[in-house]
Amino acid sequence: MNRPLLILIAIALLLGLGAYWLSEPGVDDSSVRTTTSVAEAMGSSDTTGYDRADRVIDFAFPEDHGPHPGFQTEWWYFTGNLDGADGNAYGFKFTIFRSALSPPDSATVTPVSSDPATASDWRTNQFYMSHVGVSAMDRAWHRSAERFARGGAGLAGARAQPFRVWLNDWEMRSAAPVEQTPAATPNDATFPLRLQMSDDEMGFDLTVTPQKPPVFQGDRGLSQKGPGSGNASYYYSYTRLDTEGQVMVEGDTVNVTGQSWMDREWSTSALAEDQEGWDWFSLQFDDGRELMYYQLRNDNGMPSPFSKGLLVEEDGSSTLIEREDVELEVTDTWTSDLDGESTYPVAWQMRIPEYDLDLTITSYFPGQEMDVSVRYWEGAVQIDGTAGGADLSGRGYVELTGYADGASAGPMS
């Protein structure tokens, strides 16, 4: 995302259940739940045979909006803060993950039977998962949902042209007319995108259009997450997307407008042995700038030197933010209602003296925990502060991993 490696969630599921699902077409994916910690999920992945993010590349669009099956994991990630026609504020998070169960040179799962009649496109090594969250600020209401599917039989997949990433009827796709996105086009005409999902209690149908070109995180899009060659991701972001459409909350449909953020990341990597999670901030300021910063946390409680970020100017130019540039202080915490034990930070003071930024970041409300297979907190925040001594405000999203030991026991959506 985006951001640091949400690979942990996909790998957590794949380690325990993926091979079984992909070899048994009759299994009902929606009935299965697993538990793991961040450290366990990220520390035990076998990366042999996969492509690695080990050098700077030239990104190509629209091709790089599509899948990269040689890498173990990738994701398409959106968050946004929206204003409803009813006068209330709303937030959403929508991520689709793709993971491979085997490297490219062994691209199929070994059959459980030698009978050719059992062979089908159910036996794919591609696995998709989606996480969705919707928040209604006026009522401090948050719901999350999760889905899984094989990347075969049309259940889930990804393509670059025309752009579409889907898991059953949850999808991200190009909203541009097909004639505007031919395979031979010299420009990226993928946008605008349409984001759609619905569940029993929530849903959205949103169109997002970038107001700035993509920015490339880390070293020209090579984002190092730990020591050693290849322990990195390819990572770019659209930090300000005009957004309009509808959200559904508890059966009520509301017209909305606002701003969203898109992260694209693919990798074959894992957390280092001494890393246990991260705090990731995507902040959109009212002066037209954006800030992304992720702080990887070591198991001794100290921030990893591989923590970093990007400050994006109003004209789309960007500047790398290093770990030593940022002072981050937790000013409030919240304990999960799900287990009564997991405690998350929910308010911060962030200072970046070199750019004269002093920010107070506060969650709209604390209870924005994602109740999915690997529990984490992902929620909308408000920003107040100063830039160069002048008042500065804005909104954003924060993702917090490694604070809960494992998944909740509730039913999967």
> Structural domain boundaries of the chain?
7-401
For domain 7-401, the CATH class is mainly beta
**DSSP calls for 7-52:** HHHHHHHIIIIIHHHHH-TT--GGG------HHHHHHS---TTS--
- Contact criterion met (CB below 8 Å) for 69 and 104: yes
Q: What are the phi and psi torsion angles at 40 (to 5°)?
A: -65, -45
The pLDDT tens digits for 342-353 are 999 999 999 999
Q: How confident is the model at residue 4 (pLDDT cuts 50, 70, 90)?
A: very low
- Contact criterion met (CB below 8 Å) for 166 and 150: no
Task: Tell which wins on pLDDT, 79 or 187.
Answer: 79
User: How high does pLDDT run on average in the chain?
Assistant: 84
Residue 186 predicted with pLDDT over 90:
no
Q: Read off the amino acid at residue 271.
A: L
Give the per-residue pLDDT at 301. Answer: 79
- Contact criterion met (CB below 8 Å) for 275 and 237: no
- Give residues with Cβ within 8 angstroms of 97, minimum separation 6: 6, 9, 10, 73, 74, 75, 128, 129, 130, 131
Residue 48 predicted with pLDDT over 70:
yes
Give the per-residue pLDDT at 175. Answer: 93
User: Which long-range CB contacts under 8 A does 187-193 form with residues at least 24 apart?
Assistant: 188/61, 188/62, 188/65, 189/62, 190/61, 190/62, 190/65, 190/160, 190/162, 190/163, 193/163
Q: What are the phi and psi torsion angles at 105 (to 5°)?
A: -80, 0
What tokens appear for 102 in the block?
A: 């085997």
Provide the percentage of residues in the chain whose pLDDT is more than 70. 79
104-113, 179-188, 209-218 — most confident range: 209-218
Q: How confident is the model at residue 274 (pLDDT cuts 50, 70, 90)?
A: confident
